[in-house]
Amino acid sequence: MMDATLFRAKHQLWLRIAFMSFSVKDDKIKSRLYEFSQIEFRHLKWVAGSLYENSVDYDYERDNRFSIESETFFDLLQTTIDEIKSLHLLYTEEPLCERMAHDEAYIFRTLNTYLTTTLNEPLSAFNRSRTWPDALLTPAETDALTLFLFEELYKEYELIMIYFYRQIRATTAAQVSHFQDLIDESHFHLRSFAEMMAKMGILALPRTLHPRTYQITNMEKFLTDWIIEEENAKEECRKLSSAIRDEKLSNFFEFINYQESYHIEIMKKLLKEI
């Protein structure tokens, strides 16, 4: 039977492939890797569902040495390939494990192909340059953007994992649908902010979540509090949009701001469901 060790390994593989996609500059490879990360996230949902059905506890902890930083693309590829090999030792003969193994056999072959058909480009995503390449920002604008991206990356990861946890435990189809909408939106925001961080050389993993963050007993209070949090996030987007003079960046943050508005409406629907 599947256990919490497998869940942790799958959680880490999802993060590894997602952040590898954020760090790579080649658009075609970036897109393919992100698609693979979404496959891994679906796997993670299926594993969590199976564990929950069998009353097996799991958490969002990561191994102490888990890291997504490397100097070259090939280093990231090789680490991911080795991780997939180790992961498969945890699979049983259950149909879900067979499905995951087949998916990863294709991912494995694709990653090996990249080792032989692409250039081993040095990665700038982790070099801490703090330079926005698409416009000349003032030090104050750079500081504001840096702080915002770190805070929002963590917030979006936190929301994905909270909604994910609650979706597994949802009691109605409407709840499942609302949580899926929120998860999808947060995936888009996470990817957007992470790719901006990679451009600035400050890409980093969000910190690990404590169980109290997502093991929510009072869902009504949580949703009420997060509606307020989303209102605050909208205000931070508005402030950043006003503080940065670059038109493209300002327009992007206005775009995010309006998306946050509808998240509040989805949460209100969830409140009625609960």
- CATH of residue 114: 1.20.1260.10
pTM over 0.85: yes
How far apart are alpha carbons 46 and 226 in whole angstroms? 26
Split into its structural domains, the chain has a count of 2
147 with 101, same domain: the answer is no
140 with 270, same domain: the answer is yes
92 with 138, same domain: the answer is no
143 with 273, same domain: the answer is yes
161 with 258, same domain: the answer is yes
242 with 112, same domain: the answer is no
| pLDDT higher than threshold 90 for residue 260 | no
Other beta carbons less than 10 A from residue 133's beta carbon = 10
103 with 139, same domain: the answer is no
Cα distance between the two ends of the chain? 32
Q: Which tokens in the block code for residue 67?
A: 């890291």
235 with 115, same domain: the answer is no
154 with 259, same domain: the answer is yes
Q: Which tokens in the block code for residue 255?
A: 């775009």
Residue 241 pLDDT:
75
| pLDDT higher than threshold 80 for residue 233 | no
94 with 153, same domain: the answer is no
Single out the residue in 66, 95, 123 at which a domain terminates: 123
Rg, Å, the chain Cα set: 19
Single out the residue in 54, 89, 123 at which a domain terminates: 123
- Encode pLDDT of 126-142 as tens digits: 999 999 999 899 999 99
Confidence label for 271 from pLDDT (cuts 50, 70 and 90): confident
Confidence label for 253 from pLDDT (cuts 50, 70 and 90): confident
216 with 228, same domain: the answer is yes
Single out the residue in 59, 90, 123 at which a domain terminates: 123
Greatest mean pLDDT range, 102-111, 205-214, 216-225: 102-111
139 with 269, same domain: the answer is yes
| pLDDT higher than threshold 90 for residue 188 | yes
Q: Which domain holds residue 33?
A: 1-123
DSSP notation for 220-236: HHHHHHHHHHHHHHHHH
Contact call for residues 69 and 123 (beta carbons, < 8 A): no
Looking at the chain, the whole-number percentage of residues with pLDDT higher than 70 is 100
